Amino acid sequence: MTRTQPQPQPRPDTNCRPLRVAVVGATGAVGQEFLRVLHHRGFPIAELRLLASARSAGTEMQFAGQPCRVEELTADSFSGIDLALFSAGGAISKQFAPAAVEAGAVVVDNSSCFRMTEGVPLVVPEVNPEAIAAAGIGFGDGLRPGIIANPNCSTILMLVAVTPLHRAAGVKRMVVSTYQAASGAGAAAMRELEQQTREALDPANNGQVLTKDIFPFQYAFNLFSHNSPMEPNGYNQEEMKMVRETHKIWGDAEPAAITATCVRVPVMRAHAESINLTFERPLTEERARAILADAPGVALIDDRDANVFPTPLDASHRDDIFVGRIRQDISRPDGTSLDLFLCGDQVRKGAALNAVQIAELL
Amino acid sequence: MTRTQPQPQPRPDTNCRPLRVAVVGATGAVGQEFLRVLHHRGFPIAELRLLASARSAGTEMQFAGQPCRVEELTADSFSGIDLALFSAGGAISKQFAPAAVEAGAVVVDNSSCFRMTEGVPLVVPEVNPEAIAAAGIGFGDGLRPGIIANPNCSTILMLVAVTPLHRAAGVKRMVVSTYQAASGAGAAAMRELEQQTREALDPANNGQVLTKDIFPFQYAFNLFSHNSPMEPNGYNQEEMKMVRETHKIWGDAEPAAITATCVRVPVMRAHAESINLTFERPLTEERARAILADAPGVALIDDRDANVFPTPLDASHRDDIFVGRIRQDISRPDGTSLDLFLCGDQVRKGAALNAVQIAELL
């Protein structure tokens, strides 16, 4: 059995010039994670500028044990900045990312604003790092400032696990059901889940929850179809992101057929996905397991004897995507289909880590 | 567009002779639900005998506002009993159901013990009520005592929704991912989820949970692959029940191809399922919606404009299976595939109600 060679995990080049870095949306769940990831990976920083709304300006945050004051985001915030990491929602990206590029910065944008824009590379470092060079974006000679888009969290998690199998046997069709954590809707949604759960457990409330600021219905001990707006075809935007972004990232002449059902579950910060794959060519579960054991960014958690498989809690605060339940799909006896189940930290690999890994590729 | 005719929901025939009924496992989550369902549906009861382990014997329960004392289950418990509703686990059913039949009772068994046994009808009243008469089991002339099996909860929920579509267009392949509630593992698992959640929210515990009596890992704010034992093919028993029971209940010469991934989520008592269906013949989402709007035991909750779809909380304590997110699967542009999402009360329609509806068919 031939194993695919592991691809080197992009790591900071310690010889590279330290960068002047801005973090836009520094006080949010992903913004805070940016600071942790930049610090833990030893990202070469000459200057760090934390930017947020006027409401959050003046807040003192910590970076590498040093206090760092949040400034108000304005069109002038990017003067002298090399790299701007955006995670403050699509409207902020739309308004300020062009200004950052104008000021000479490379933007890594975590919003969906520019993901499908022609000329904007949409990158998962383990999957399509070459897309950045192809777009001519970077810091060196002959390279230009520009926007690089960070894909949707559910797309990132899925593609880290599925792409190595796609390369081996050609994914023809994917049926995905997600189990998405509160963090995908931001820090306020995580607080609401916690608050609602306290209320649901309080005998004085008779099982009712009182706080419904973020979601219009009960989230505690409940789940619901993903709250993104519906498209005319009956899929919600989260589901269509998984379809369209995968097509752009893989860039295949004949795109894989994909259907997704996205569901929010009462879990804090790691998403799970149940994925059924149909391939062009047969792929045994043994070969799939060997491929994934060597795949960058993947941790294989697939112990049938002990009934130990990926859980969101185990995957929380971890860089790797946990993959397990890899099995030959009995509904296709010709060996062309597999099922698998994965969990990945939505805030880390689903957002902040992936963006910093993109910056490391520069 | 032709709509399928609604099938009459089986209801108690008020002219039928009142029955002497035994409930085995009366103190469990499903046992308690048996009592509520029997009462609310006006089931004709001449005598009610509550049976449980020696540990629970002497417990006083309520039925229709009257106190009713739990007796210890023994081989002699079924003398004079017409109908025995079993929900005390496979070992108890295996030991005592034959004794109940020997004593002249019809047994409706909620365990998995006899489901795949030849000659034991496996029945969802909305799907295959005729299986009981075909087996010759019942109370009237020429009928015999015997065991009727209640299917697995996830199977029941799925088949109430999918069978009307199967009849219209022939299900060729099903890909199912479940979101299963604590109740499926019994009342103790529900208490453990609640207790763990309190512990996880208690600042003194620093995010750790202490109680792990039922499951070996954290359930609060987490999810995990279904805890039933794994089969050699890498599917767990819950998943294989959904496959094998569907084949037996539908009884098709060429069984539908089915793959399932079963996951336990931190929800109390209603299961959810994300289902992708591929049909022999094209089926539009409009026709599917019309069929399900008229289907017995189904409530259509599919409001795209308001983003209102089935949730486990809404489906809790309800008889109907809530079905929504019905949409043409964009991964199959030939119109032969649909996605849908459903929720149903695991304790009620997934167990107690289905069993009582079976008894009503007698």
Residues of B in contact with A259 (CB under 8 A): 276, 329-331, 337, 339
Residues of A in contact with B172 (CB under 8 A): none
DSSP letter at B14?
T
Q: Are strands B263-264 and B224-225 parallel, antiparallel or unpaired?
A: antiparallel
Mean pLDDT for the stretch of residues B158-165:
98
> Which of the residues B153, B226, B262, B343 is marked catalytic?
B153
Active site residue B40: no
Residues of B in contact with A312 (CB under 8 A): 222-223
Q: Are strands B321-328 and B337-345 parallel, antiparallel or unpaired?
A: antiparallel
Task: Please answer whether residues B45 and B11 qualify as being in contact, where contact means their C-beta atoms are separated by less than 8 angstroms.
Answer: no
pLDDT digits (tens, 9 = 90+) for A60-84: 999 988 999 999 999 999 999 999 9
Of residues B218, B267, B332, nearest to A313 (C-beta):
B218
- pLDDT, position B255: 98
Q: What angle do CA B306, B308, B311 make, to 5 degrees?
A: 165
> H-type helices in chain A, by residue range?
29-40, 90-102, 130-135, 153-169, 187-201, 237-250, 285-293, 312-315, 353-361
Task: Please answer whether residues B115 and B151 qualify as being in contact, where contact means their C-beta atoms are separated by less than 8 angstroms.
Answer: yes
Q: What angle do CA B229, B234, B236 make, to 5 degrees?
A: 30
Length of chain A: 362
DSSP letter at A251?
-
pLDDT digits (tens, 9 = 90+) for A5-30: 333 344 444 457 899 999 999 999 89
Q: Are strands B19-24 and B45-52 parallel, antiparallel or unpaired?
A: parallel
Burial class, A265, CB count within 10 angstroms (exposed 0-12 / middle 13-18 / buried 19+)? buried
Nearest residue to B134 (alpha-carbon basis) of B150, B120, B145: B120
Catalytic residue IDs of A: 153, 271
Q: How far is B230 from chain A (nearest CA, A)?
A: 7
Task: Please answer whether residues A111 and A186 qualify as being in contact, where contact means their C-beta atoms are separated by less than 8 angstroms.
Answer: no
Task: Please answer whether residues B187 and B88 qualify as being in contact, where contact means their C-beta atoms are separated by less than 8 angstroms.
Answer: no
Of residues B175, B221, B233, nearest to A267 (C-beta):
B221
Residues of B in contact with A337 (CB under 8 A): 259
Of residues B173, B272, B276, nearest to A259 (C-beta):
B276
Q: What angle do CA A192, A184, A307 make, to 5 degrees?
A: 95
pLDDT band per the 50, 70, 90 thresholds, residue B230:
very high
- What is the CB-side half-sphere exposure of residue A45 using CA atoms within 13 A? 21
pLDDT band per the 50, 70, 90 thresholds, residue A140:
confident
Nearest residue to A304 (alpha-carbon basis) of A314, A289, A319: A289
Residues of B in contact with A194 (CB under 8 A): 201
| Maximum CA extent, chain B | 66
pLDDT digits (tens, 9 = 90+) for B10-25: 444 445 789 999 999 9
Q: Are strands B45-52 and A337-345 parallel, antiparallel or unpaired?
A: unpaired
pLDDT band per the 50, 70, 90 thresholds, residue A206:
confident
What pTM did the predictor assign? 0.94
Neighbours of A210 (CB within 10 A): 11
Which residues touch B235 (CB under 8 Å, ≥6 apart)?
Answer: A327, A330, B243, B260
Taking an 8 Å cut-off on Cβ atoms, the answer to whether A307 and B225 are in contact is: yes
Checking A92-97 for CB contacts under 8 A at 24+ apart, the result is A92/A24, A92/A25, A93/A24, A96/A24, A97/A147
Token match 């512990």: residue? B199
Query: Which CATH number among 3.40.50.300, 3.40.718.10, 3.30.360.10, 3.50.50.60 corresponds to the domain B155-346?
Result: 3.30.360.10
Of residues B217, B221, B330, nearest to A235 (C-beta):
B330
Which residue of B244, B263, B305 to mutate against A (max A Cβ within 10 Å)?
B263
Q: How far is A26 from chain B (nearest CA, A)?
A: 25
Taking an 8 Å cut-off on Cβ atoms, the answer to whether A263 and B179 are in contact is: yes
pLDDT at B58 over 50: yes
Residues of A in contact with B339 (CB under 8 A): 259, 261
- pLDDT, position A209: 85
Neighbours of B250 (CB within 10 A): 17
> Which of the residues B113, B166, B262, B271 is marked catalytic?
B271
- pLDDT, position B68: 95
Taking an 8 Å cut-off on Cβ atoms, the answer to whether A313 and B263 are in contact is: no
Q: How far is A224 from chain B (nearest CA, A)?
A: 5
pLDDT at B40 over 50: yes
pLDDT digits (tens, 9 = 90+) for A267-313: 999 999 999 999 999 999 999 999 999 999 999 999 999 999 999 99
Task: Please answer whether residues A215 and A191 qualify as being in contact, where contact means their C-beta atoms are separated by less than 8 angstroms.
Answer: no
Task: Please answer whether residues B301 and B325 qualify as being in contact, where contact means their C-beta atoms are separated by less than 8 angstroms.
Answer: no
Taking an 8 Å cut-off on Cβ atoms, the answer to whether B267 and A197 are in contact is: no
Which residues touch A342 (CB under 8 Å, ≥6 apart)?
Answer: A157, A158, A161, A272, A273, A275, A310, A321, A322, A323, A324
Q: Which amino acid is at A37?
A: V
pLDDT band per the 50, 70, 90 thresholds, residue A210:
confident
Task: Please answer whether residues B210 and B231 qualify as being in contact, where contact means their C-beta atoms are separated by less than 8 angstroms.
Answer: no
Q: Where are the domains of chain B?
A: 19-150+352-361, 155-346
- pLDDT, position B207: 78
- Phi first, then psi: give them for residue B318, nearest 5 degrees: -120, 150
Residues of B in contact with A217 (CB under 8 A): 311, 313
Length of chain B: 362
Mean pLDDT for the stretch of residues A332-359:
95
DSSP result, A276-330: EEEESS---HHHHHHHHHTSTTEEE--BTTTTB---HHHHTT-SSEEEEEEEE-T
Residues of B in contact with A185 (CB under 8 A): none
Token match 């309520």: residue? B62
- pLDDT, position A265: 98
Distance CA A344, CA A158 (A): 9
- pLDDT, position A171: 98
pLDDT digits (tens, 9 = 90+) for A22-54: 999 999 989 999 999 999 999 999 999 999 999
Same fold, A19-150+352-361 and A155-346: no
pLDDT band per the 50, 70, 90 thresholds, residue B329:
very high
Taking an 8 Å cut-off on Cβ atoms, the answer to whether A222 and B272 are in contact is: no
Structure tokens at A252: 């295949």
**C-alpha torsion sign, points A324, A329, A334, A337:** negative
Task: Please answer whether residues A328 and B235 qualify as being in contact, where contact means their C-beta atoms are separated by less than 8 angstroms.
Answer: no
Q: Are strands B321-328 and B257-261 parallel, antiparallel or unpaired?
A: unpaired
- What is the CB-side half-sphere exposure of residue B208 using CA atoms within 13 A? 4
- pLDDT, position B1: 30
Task: Please answer whether residues B48 and B23 qualify as being in contact, where contact means their C-beta atoms are separated by less than 8 angstroms.
Answer: yes
Nearest residue on chain B to A267, judged by CA atoms? B221
Taking an 8 Å cut-off on Cβ atoms, the answer to whether A307 and B339 are in contact is: no
Mean pLDDT of chain A: 94
**If you compute the radius of gyration of chain B from its CA atoms, what whole number of angstroms results?**
21
Which residue of A171, A173, A175 to mutate against B (max B Cβ within 10 Å)?
A175
Mean pLDDT of chain B: 94
| Complex-level ipTM beyond the 0.95 threshold | no
Of residues B259, B312, B341, nearest to A276 (C-beta):
B259
- B86 - beta bridge partners? B24, B109
**C-alpha torsion sign, points B154, B155, B161, B165:** positive
Of residues A177, A259, A268, nearest to B329 (C-beta):
A259
Nearest residue on chain A to B326, judged by CA atoms? A234
Nearest residue on chain B to A305, judged by CA atoms? B230
Beta strands in chain B (DSSP E): 19-24, 45-52, 60-63, 66-72, 83-86, 106-109, 146-149, 171-179, 224-225, 257-261, 263-264, 270-279, 298-300, 321-328, 337-345
pLDDT digits (tens, 9 = 90+) for A213-226: 999 889 999 999 99
SS3 content of chain B, % helix, strand, coil (to 5): 30, 25, 45
Neighbours of A192 (CB within 10 A): 21
Of residues A276, A311, A327, nearest to B235 (C-beta):
A327
Q: How far is A298 from chain B (nearest CA, A)?
A: 18
DSSP letter at B349?
I
Nearest residue on chain A to B219, judged by CA atoms? A313
Mean pLDDT for the stretch of residues A119-148:
96
Residues of B in contact with A221 (CB under 8 A): 193, 266-268, 313
Token match 């079963």: residue? B262
DSSP letter at A6?
P
Q: How far is A20 from chain B (nearest CA, A)?
A: 36
Q: How far is A57 from chain B (nearest CA, A)?
A: 29
Class of domain A19-150+352-361: alpha beta
Q: How far is A21 from chain B (nearest CA, A)?
A: 33
